Amino acid sequence: MPGTEFSFELIAQDGKARLGKISTERGDIDTPAFMPVGTQGTVKGVFTDDILKTNTQIILANTYHLLLRPGIQTLNKFKGLHNYMNWKKPILTDSGGYQIMSLSKFNKIDLNIGAIFKSHLDGKKIILSPEKSIQVQKSINSDIIMVLDECPKLTKDKKILSKAIEVSTNWARRSKIEFGNNKSKALFGIAQGGLYKDLRIESIEKLIEIDFNGYAMGGLAVGEKQLDMFSILSETTDYLPKKKPRYLMGVGTPSDILGAVNEGIDMFDCVMPTRSGRTGLAFTWAGKVNLKNSKYQNDKSPIDEKCEVRELNKYSKSYLNHLIKSNEMMASMLISLHNIYFYQQFMREIQKNIKNGTFQMFYKKYINLFD
């Protein structure tokens, strides 16, 4: 509802797993929540109306990519991304911090200025300062805005990680000033520190001093082992404010999500459902199904008999196998939609089991299913 202030309610806990609700002016978000990734204003290969039918309550878009295309002038004409892409529910935007790592060969970092990019599209110089990142996210009209941070690549070098904390804390403070006071929107801080408990706690404490609406764990899902990620979450999530949402950026497989929920994380995003869909990989309650496999050539059964979104339960594995082998784009569209549907069903079951006090049974049943 317009005028609704951003808020988070912690409803129940089962161990460290948390059931909650985020309220925004564009609707509520039940947590733990999964956000499909719409980097450039589209969840690849999936119609907006179909995303809604999967019970998705929020999607993610990317500041850096939308700054390049379509650009701020265009987004301002449409009064933001919601109108531009015909999505009425909440949007969270990544600040561009991840691109500082993923496009490192195109950029350099200056503590006082920000990230200086050479556009990967046309080579033009782009300066993404903390202030600029917030300004772009305001033009996108994001409901949840992320501070600009430095996300280092996987490393054991404490000097590199400490420097990233210094830069990220400085940029977080500047982001907060630029964000100003808008109670209908939220600004999240991003903790760094790699796999070191002391550095993570240092980063978290510095962010808490600045004070944000929510807190993210950044710099994970960058190549570390799953158990290492779970371990650092286990050691550090209790230092995050209990009454504010906790977001693990860029995660992950259903097993990754389940393990992180077990450590007290509330929000997730990942390209996994659609990227896997484009390669013919489906996620199901029986585990992963590689529909390229010839054993499905004559299989009359659907991926999921209960999935009625766009009548996905009417398409056989045999037909999908045929589409994949024929390089038909319909294959990736159908499997991507199925995967988003499955992820959202998976989150609903997590929520239900936390509420019922049976989360540990659910956890033990599914934690190793998607390896």
Catalytic residue positions? 94, 269
User: Using CA atoms, how far apart are residues 97 and 182, in angstroms rounded to an integer?
Assistant: 22
**Contact indicator for 254, 312 with CB cutoff of 8 Å:** no
Q: Measure CA 177 to chain center.
A: 24
Q: Which helix (H) or strand (E) holds 142?
A: none
Q: Which helix (H) or strand (E) holds 119?
A: none
For 145-192, what is the HEC assignment?
Answer: EECCCCCCCCCCCHHHHHHHHHHHHHHHHHHHHHHCCCCCCEEEEEEC
| Strand ranges (E), the chain | 7-14, 17-24, 27-31, 33-36, 59-62, 91-94, 107-110, 114-118, 125-128, 144-146, 186-191, 214-217, 246-248, 267-270, 281-284, 287-290
User: Using CA atoms, how far apart are residues 60 and 42, in angstroms rounded to an integer?
Assistant: 9
Q: Measure CA 67 to chain center.
A: 19
203: nearest Cα among 165, 255, 174, 235: 165
According to DSSP, the residues that pair with 173 across neighbouring strands are: none
